[in-house]
Amino acid sequence: MSEGIPETTIFYDPATGYYGFSSRFPGRHPHHMIDTFRSVEDVFGWCDPFRERVWEEASDADETKLMISRDFKEGTVGWRMAHLTLAELGAAMAR
């Protein structure tokens, strides 16, 4: 099983007027961030093009954060990589 699933956050930067996203492992600093998108749909097109992640509205505590994803939809490639052992992945591929 994976050590963690990357958490992805979609945000809006009022200073620039652009949307962006950041990805990080829980408890760590963001390891990837892009903030040059003109719309939320453009962000989704880049950070989740196949809509494999589970998204929820972010907390009202930070008004710049719009959406947050902490997991993948069950059965997707990302979910399998994060939730199955190497033996389970191998068995699934052998079918």
SS (H, E, C) the chain: CCCCCCEEEEEEECCCCEEEEEEECCCCCCCEEEEEECCHHHHHHHHCCCCCEEEEECCCCCCCEEEEEEEECCCCHHHHHHHCCHHHHHHHHHC
Q: Provide the number of structural domains found in the chain.
A: 1
Residue 87: which domain range? 7-94
Q: Residue-wise pLDDT tens for the chain (95 aa)? A: 446 788 999 999 999 999 999 999 888 888 888 889 999 999 999 999 999 999 999 887 778 899 999 999 998 888 888 878 888 878 877 87
Domain membership flag for residue 1: no
Residue 2: inside a domain: no
Residue 50 included in any domain: yes
